Chains A and B, each alone.
Chain A
């Protein structure tokens, strides 16, 4: 009995060490070891934001915090697409190790999820800077944003499970998924307001989890309103669904992955 206890403590220390090493590696490879690399990796969402600000402010904006509206949409969407895309490669990139050493495959996904979250927190600094520039006042309700953020973290990870398994089996998953995310942009109300649609169509936007999270962030930051209970439930349901499917996919295919490396 006491021996078993010892083992589990040791295995926690081992896992923690492995996780730390993996996160460090993901970070170094992303930022290429330079401070400029950190800025460089924020380049894409900020460019989209800038382009939209130039083109759409006159066309779709309403004068009232449209800049903040845009930056929140772009940064949250970028977190979603960046994390899921990164997690898609988690298994394939570690194939060399998976085929040689017995290791819990989920740890590769978790380490990428954590390093993408840290990356998001860095870009969020830029997001809040733009929000402040747009004369939005900061308030204590901002702390509530931890809720949609943690929901997103787990939802991304659930989707990451599914994508990383698919990518091992089918190498064009990458291509198909990038088309999917580019289309999803248009359904996430990133640069337009949904109230231009009839009321029953507006509700349909909530089928898109990314829209739910963007909506949550906007209502807290821009309108200082806590979203309805319905939105809270939705935010929590998506990660549960995707984590359940993702875990099932891993469970069913765990022994098949080794054939592909």
Chain B
């Protein structure tokens, strides 16, 4: 077993609490207007994946798909339940973000590599490969804020796809960039997947899930509706969507 998720529940906070100060917090508490409340973004989800499995995670907006991926990649801790993963995880979540705009392309590549757990030796060896794959040779010493968002995601993809992970986590991305780069990145991604990685993909495209996945997890409002073989779960989900449309 490579991924073992047992009765996982993730609590999340909703409401306008992010940009308040102590002053607002206290006045809101006193007047009873403080509206941050906990809710279960993921509630009692269980599934297991073997080596080489390709899991599709489907569900409407706000079903808890991305939150579940974050819990599996270890970014957030589940409130209860157990997530066990075996091997190196590579998560491609919201690729082009989290960079430092006031640093050069080269510095950002090194920093991101360090965040992803690569060693200095590895980065020195692979740097040329990254810059060539992302087609940013001329921009090496540019400040990041001078780059377009497409260029940033090309760069992020090239760093993240360097290694052959045991577990690959994809949030709506199989390919990035435009035209030629899109093809190139999709080919690279498929190469990683074919080499025996266990993949988890969040997708809104049922046809894509049917084409790629051998197992499917269907979430709705954080709850696990179904988990099983692609055909069974996708058929049930489409039936559910049709039902919803008719209502």
Q: Which residues of A contact B (CB under 8 A)?
A: 10-11, 13-14, 16-18, 20-22, 24-25, 28-29, 96-103, 170-173, 175-176, 254-256, 258-260
Cβ contact within 8 Å between A171 and B119:
no
Interface set, chain B 62-99, CB cutoff 8 A to A: 70, 73-77, 79, 89, 91, 93-94, 97-99
Contacts of A25 in B (CB 8 A): 100, 103, 107, 111
Say if the beta carbon of B190 comes within 8 Å of chain A. no
Cβ contact within 8 Å between B103 and A14:
no
Q: Which of A24, A172, A255 contacts B77 (CB 8 A)?
A: A255
A124 to B12, CA, bound (A): 46
Cβ contact within 8 Å between A97 and B98:
yes
Cβ contact within 8 Å between B77 and A254:
yes
Asked whether A99 and B75 contact (CB < 8 A) given A171-B19, A176-B22, the answer is: yes
Cβ contact within 8 Å between A14 and B76:
no
Q: Which of B91, B102, B103 contacts A100 (CB 8 A)?
A: B91
Asked whether A18 and B114 contact (CB < 8 A) given A28-B103, A170-B20, A176-B22, the answer is: yes
The chain B residue sitting closest to A16, CB to CB, is B120
Asked whether A101 and B116 contact (CB < 8 A) given A22-B111, A28-B103, the answer is: yes
Cβ contact within 8 Å between A100 and B77:
no
Q: Which residues of B contact A (CB under 8 A)?
A: 12-13, 18-23, 25, 70, 73-77, 79, 89, 91, 93-94, 97-100, 102-103, 107, 110-111, 114-121, 123
- Least CB distance, B97 to chain A, in whole angstroms: 6
A16 to B117, CA, bound (A): 10
Cβ contact within 8 Å between A101 and B111:
no
Q: Which of A11, A29, A100 contacts B75 (CB 8 A)?
A: A100
- Least CB distance, A149 to chain B, in whole angstroms: 28
Asked whether A29 and B102 contact (CB < 8 A) given A17-B119, A100-B94, the answer is: yes
| A20, A101, A170: residue with the most chain B Cβ atoms closer than 10 Å | A101
The chain B residue sitting closest to A24, CB to CB, is B107
Cβ contact within 8 Å between B22 and A172:
yes
Cβ contact within 8 Å between B110 and A21:
yes
- Least CB distance, A73 to chain B, in whole angstroms: 30
Asked whether A97 and B23 contact (CB < 8 A) given A102-B75, A259-B13, the answer is: no
Cβ contact within 8 Å between A173 and B120:
no
Cβ contact within 8 Å between B21 and A171:
yes
A21 to B159, CA, bound (A): 16
Asked whether A10 and B22 contact (CB < 8 A) given A101-B75, A102-B73, A255-B77, the answer is: no
- Least CB distance, A148 to chain B, in whole angstroms: 32
The chain A residue sitting closest to B103, CB to CB, is A25
A25 to B115, CA, bound (A): 13
Cβ contact within 8 Å between B76 and A172:
no
A256 to B115, CA, bound (A): 21
Cβ contact within 8 Å between B74 and A13:
no
